[in-house]
């Protein structure tokens, strides 16, 4: 689809769509920009020289163990992985109807297993991967460059955070903080927002010819832009 709008689309609708997509894309870029600084690689991703992680504590759920940054949040995900957790909660009891929710404990356990056996033991490697992925999402959304690839990365990060942290009790993490990130990532994926005031719009004009002639790299670039 080369054009989202045809000659019958009201001009105001086209302008509004483009403005909303650009604003949403730039705000997502700014969010990932702000997230870069509490886990800087040069400062051990915010974990300190000892790479300490929170430890379970019976009365207070956990002890921070003087951890911070990426180590702190990974540790919390690990601690809460085995505890029952409900998301997508709609509490309708005030109207005389039951509350509805979805139990994500199996997914949280899988997330905790991967953290305990892969990510946390190799934090100095995976810390770089996390930081570079978030830096890529920031650049992708800021420049409108391969925004579908950037949106996929944003979706993956946001879903992992949702599974690991949504509605954990202390500190309470409101599920929709992460849920809205997931939804915004999906919107950027579907809208391919970089085609409006972004590098993707220029790339698609340059690569459409080679793609039509069978160039596989051009076809892949069009798919991701």
DSSP H stretches of helix in the chain: 11-35, 69-80, 105-114, 123-143, 147-165, 175-191, 199-212, 216-224
- In the chain, what percentage of residues exceed pLDDT 90? 64
**C-alpha triplet 77, 107, 165: angle, nearest 5°:** 30
**Domain ranges (residues) in the chain:** 14-224
pTM of the model: 0.89
pLDDT of 62-109, one tens digit each? 888 888 899 999 999 999 999 999 999 999 989 989 999 999 999 999
Smallest Cα–Cα separation from 75: which of 164, 162, 156? Answer: 164
CA–CA gap between residue 74 and residue 115 (Å, rounded):
7
pLDDT of 20-79, one tens digit each? 999 999 999 999 999 999 999 988 898 888 888 998 887 767 888 888 899 999 999 999
Place of tokens 């790299």: 217
* pLDDT value of position 71: 93
Cβ-contact 99, 87 below 8 angstroms: no
pLDDT tier for residue 5 given thresholds of 50, 70 and 90: low
CA–CA gap between residue 200 and residue 177 (Å, rounded):
29
């Amino acid at each position: 689809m080369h054009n989202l709008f045809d000659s019958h689309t009201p001009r105001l609708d086209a302008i509004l769509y483009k403005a909303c997509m650009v604003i949403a894309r730039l705000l997502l870029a700014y969010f990932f920009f702000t997230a870069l600084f509490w886990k800087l690689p040069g400062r051990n991703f915010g974990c300190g020289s000892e790479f300490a992680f929170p430890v379970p504590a019976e009365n207070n759920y956990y002890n921070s163990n003087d951890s911070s940054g990426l180590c702190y949040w990974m540790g919390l995900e690990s601690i809460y992985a085995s505890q029952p957790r409900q998301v997508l909660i709609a509490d309708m009891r005030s109207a005389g109807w039951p509350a509805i929710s979805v139990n994500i404990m199996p997914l949280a356990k899988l997330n905790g297993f991967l953290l305990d056996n892969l990510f946390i033991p190799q934090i100095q490697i995976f810390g770089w991967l996390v930081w570079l992925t978030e830096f890529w999402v920031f650049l992708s959304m800021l420049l409108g460059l391969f925004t579908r690839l950037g949106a996929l990365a944003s979706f993956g990060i946001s879903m992992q955070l949702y599974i690991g942290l949504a509605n954990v009790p202390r500190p309470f993490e409101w599920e929709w903080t992460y849920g809205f990130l997931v939804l915004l990532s999906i919107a950027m994926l579907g809208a391919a927002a970089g085609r409006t005031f972004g590098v993707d719009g220029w790339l698609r004009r340059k690569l459409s010819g080679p793609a039509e002639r069978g160039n596989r790299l051009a076809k892949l670039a069009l798919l991701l832009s």
